Amino acid sequence: MKIRDGAIVKEGAFEKAKKVRFVVIDIHGVLTDNTLYYTPDGVKSERFSLRDRLGFRMLKEAGLRYSFLTTKISRADQAVATIYGVPEEFLWGSSAKMALTTEMQGKYGFTDEQMCYIGDEMIDLGMMRRAGFSVAPSDASEEARGIADYVTAAQGGRGVVREVAEFLLRAQGRWEEILQRMAGD
């Protein structure tokens, strides 16, 4: 299977990725580069990658569900969710990430083994250990990279979801099908 140059794939990652049906994504440090920008008027903004929009589309085409999971959903997060095509019901904000995930598993019918979690920091480690398949961006904390099944070549805010979507689809033997469908062939 083709793997992006610079990515780190741990033993057993392919088998774990085959089982994924639901992708849970931390926002800050995964979809963003973890940098806050301020205008002279004090308006805060963050940088998101349009490459990830394609990654979300790939997941949707493959019938995989996905959600944002962060401590608190901001207006900026809601706006980005709209751009990425993430339905409002999949914007999950809570400091009790484990409890909320258990609730969502009951509601949407997925198990820990079927869950991919993408996180970058110490506060994500519990979810990363819980998930059947865990991912960290290349610039994540040493601890997150250490327990991740897959460490992306991409840094946070630079196409992590796009890279993960391709890895999942290749592992599940669906890459060519989705590629042809999206390319209009």
pLDDT tier, 185 (very low <50, low <70, confident <90, very high otherwise): low
Are 44 and 57 in contact, with CB atoms under 8 Å apart? Answer: no
Pick the closest to residue 29 from 168, 116, 122 (CA basis).
122
Residues 131 and 118: their CA atoms lie apart, in Å, by: 9
25 SS3 class = strand
Residue 169: its pLDDT value, please?
98
- Reported as a single tens digit per residue, the pLDDT across 41-76 is 988 888 888 899 999 999 999 999 999 998 888 888
State the pTM of this model: 0.94
Residue 72: its pLDDT value, please?
84
* Statement: residue 95 has pLDDT above 90: no
CA 134 to each of CA 54, 99, 151: distance values in angstroms, whole numbers, following the listed order: 20, 18, 9
Residue 62's Cβ-side half-sphere holds a number of Cα atoms within 13 Å equal to 29
Which numeric CATH code is attached to 8-66+112-183?
3.40.50.1000
Q: Average pLDDT, whole number, for the chain?
A: 93
Residue 19: its pLDDT value, please?
99
* Statement: residue 104 has pLDDT above 80: yes
Residue 99: its pLDDT value, please?
93
| Residue predicted with more confidence, 44 or 119 | 119
- Top mean pLDDT of 6-10, 32-36, 86-90 is at 6-10
* Statement: residue 163 has pLDDT above 90: yes
Give the pairing type, strands 133-136 and 115-118: parallel
φ/ψ of residue 41, rounded to 5:
-85, 0
* Statement: residue 91 has pLDDT above 90: no
DSSP 8-state code for residue 11: T
